[in-house]
């Protein structure tokens, strides 16, 4: 067995002498007296591989038309509240959660419905950014509870969904903090643990790590640079030799030496990643040629390369960002075009994982800025708070709606309160926090319960990391 330094000790050691950006984590450690209490992360076996894929729907998906109640009274309330935004029963696909009332998904999501019915997908209901539990509209109105910064703001809520820090603005994401802890488990460090199909993002940015950005065709190369001898291309050969000569130099200038080292690391990562992803995917699975489909196909390629002996990675995260969900108008038509793209791509991705025998080792989840108003603005819906998300994977305890699906009744402009969760126009207070949602995924990736507050500093307000029960229960 190869000896390695505990990622916990490595993380603390680096943080103690790192730049100012590490101070918030150090303050968390000191304030909560974790410095001498936290156990080391346990290294997984060599054969174990786990990856999490974040599919971020930027703009705020109207998710109460993605997941619809089908019990008679609840559906009637849905119709009354949503008015001209309500989907007719015939346009929905019914699903049958185990031990719960029936629900339905949007008619453009047959693949998600099939995965749910097969027990490979689940929904998390009315989840959103929270600093502490909020029970009713009166607490919001009176400001008797701490509320997320910039509530209903795209930029603030996107950031908070990716950082899980609703009480402060930060450029460090929870997947980045997870990688700070777990990256040492990957034997080969040439290719980072966090891989993005959509460039720089907060979610994968840590104190010590950042995302490795690729495209749908693979790693991004240095133009004209080629590994090995290029007999038929004298231009590429001359350029490549010049770069190699430059990389071999030792510079007295610290900035030049650092730049040189970074460039060499980037070239090494490109070479390693390209080699690892050169093998065709098995099973003959056809991915849709859509924005999400092409990205999930590349992620499948990367998973195959990372999980095999070429790179030997055991932990990975992947990020996709699909924009265009800010449907203040045309919500029915636009969702009718966009949700089928999501469903078809995720369905193909899961089938590919099955063909690779990796379905139990990879979990995909959705996230979005916020939910949208249950009421119609005449043409669409506006910014709100709580939303519904789904998770897919062989390790998911599927065919279940997790959290608490809320009443869809709305409060009148005056008179007695009908729904304590409605803050106005169907802006629903979340009944499940992002911290609970993300804690399930972080623990499944291998973050120990005692390490969980390092990844999710706010988790103690919703869940005790030492509990014998899981935060929500959707991961096996």
Burial of 164 (0-12, 13-18, 19+ CB in 10 A): buried
* DSSP code at position 54: E
Mean pLDDT for the stretch of residues 446-455? 95
Q: Which token pair is 56?
A: 């971020």
> Which domains, ranges and CATH numbers included, belong to the chain?
50-224+266-461 (3.40.720)
User: Sorting pLDDT into bands at 50, 70 and 90, what band is 239?
Assistant: very low
Predicted model pTM: 0.84
Comparing CA positions, the residue from 452, 451, 440 lying closest to residue 476 is 440
pLDDT at position 10 over 70 = no
Contact 226, 242 (CB under 8 A): no
Burial of 224 (0-12, 13-18, 19+ CB in 10 A): middle
pLDDT one-digit tens code per residue, 246-263 = 445 554 555 544 444 555
Q: Which token pair is 230?
A: 């290029």
pLDDT at position 363 over 60 = yes
pLDDT reported for residue 212? 87
CB atoms within 10 A of CB 252: 6
Give the torsion sign (CA, 78, 79, 84, 90). positive
Measured torsion, CA atoms of residues 99, 345, 88, 104, in degrees rounded to the nearest 10: 0
pLDDT one-digit tens code per residue, 115-128 = 999 999 999 999 99
- According to DSSP, the residues that pair with 55 across neighbouring strands are 320, 366
Mean pLDDT for the stretch of residues 268-291? 86
For the stretch 3-8, contacts whose Cβ atoms lie closer than 8 Å and that sit 24 or more positions apart, written own/partner, are 4/43, 4/184, 4/185, 5/184, 6/40, 6/41, 6/184, 7/40, 7/41, 7/181, 7/182, 7/183, 7/184, 7/185, 8/38, 8/39, 8/40, 8/41, 8/181, 8/451
Query: 50-57 and 362-368 as β-strands: parallel, antiparallel, unpaired?
Result: parallel
pLDDT one-digit tens code per residue, 458-476 = 999 999 998 999 999 999 8
Residue with more model confidence, 78 or 4 = 78
pLDDT one-digit tens code per residue, 57-115 = 999 999 999 999 999 999 999 999 999 999 999 999 999 999 999 999 999 999 999 99
User: Sorting pLDDT into bands at 50, 70 and 90, what band is 225?
Assistant: very low
Three-state DSSP at 419 gives coil
Give the torsion sign (CA, 160, 166, 168, 173). negative
Query: Nearest 5 degrees, angle CA 66-CA 408-CA 142?
Result: 120
Percentage above 70 pLDDT, the chain: 79
- Rounded CA-CA distance 219/272 in Å is 9
pLDDT one-digit tens code per residue, 297-310 = 999 999 998 766 66
User: Sorting pLDDT into bands at 50, 70 and 90, what band is 221?
Assistant: low
């Amino acid at each position: 067995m190869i000896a390695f330094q505990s990622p916990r000790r490595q993380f603390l050691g680096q943080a103690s002498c790192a730049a100012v950006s590490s101070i918030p984590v150090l303050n968390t450690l000191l304030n909560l007296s974790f410095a001498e209490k936290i156990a080391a992360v346990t290294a997984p076996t060599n054969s174990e591989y786990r990856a999490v894929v974040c599919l971020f729907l930027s703009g705020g998906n109207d998710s109460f038309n993605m997941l619809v109640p089908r019990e008679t009274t609840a559906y009637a309330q849905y119709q009354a509240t949503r008015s001209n935004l309500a989907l007719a029963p015939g346009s929905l696909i019914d699903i049958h959660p185990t031990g719960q009332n029936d629900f339905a998904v949007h008619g453009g999501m047959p693949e998600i419905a099939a995965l749910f019915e097969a027990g490979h997908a689940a929904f998390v209901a009315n989840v959103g950014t929270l600093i502490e539990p909020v029970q009713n509209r009166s607490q919001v109105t009176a400001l008797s509870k701490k509320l997320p910064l910039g509530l209903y703001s795209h930029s603030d809520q996107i950031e908070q969904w990716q950082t899980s820090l609703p009480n402060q603005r930060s450029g460090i994401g929870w997947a980045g903090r997870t990688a700070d802890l777990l990256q040492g488990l990957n034997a080969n460090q040439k290719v980072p643990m966090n891989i993005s199909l959509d460039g720089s993002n907060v979610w994968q940015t840590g104190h010590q790590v950042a995302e490795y950005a690729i495209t749908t065709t693979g790693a991004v190369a240095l133009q004209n640079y080629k590994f090995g001898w290029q007999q038929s291309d004298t231009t590429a050969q001359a350029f490549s030799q010049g770069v190699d000569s430059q990389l071999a130099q030792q510079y007295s200038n610290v900035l030049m030496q650092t730049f040189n080292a970074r460039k060499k690391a980037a070239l090494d990562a490109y070479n390693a990643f390209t080699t690892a992803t050169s093998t065709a995917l098995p099973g003959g699975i056809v991915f849709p040629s859509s924005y999400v489909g092409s990205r999930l196909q590349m992620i499948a390629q990367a998973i195959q390369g990372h999980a095999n002996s070429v790179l030997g990675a055991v932990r990975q995260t992947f990020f996709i960002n699909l924009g265009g969900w800010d449907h203040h108008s045309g919500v029915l038509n636009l969702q009718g075009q966009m949700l089928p793209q999501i469903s078809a791509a995720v369905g193909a991705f899961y089938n590919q994982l099955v063909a690779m025998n990796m379905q139990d080792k990879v979990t995909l989840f959705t996230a979005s800025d916020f939910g949208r108003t249950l009421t119609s603005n005449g043409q669409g819906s506006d910014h709100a708070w709580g939303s519904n998300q789904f998770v897919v994977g062989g390790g998911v305890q599927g065919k279940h709606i997790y959290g608490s699906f809320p009443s869809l009744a709305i409060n009148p402009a005056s008179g007695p309160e009908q729904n304590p969760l409605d803050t106005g126009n169907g802006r629903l207070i979340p009944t499940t926090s992002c911290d609970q949602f993300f804690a399930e995924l972080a623990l499944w990736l291998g973050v120990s319960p005692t390490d969980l507050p390092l990844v999710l500093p706010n988790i103690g307000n919703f869940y005790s990391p030492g509990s014998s029960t899981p935060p929500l229960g959707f991961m096996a």
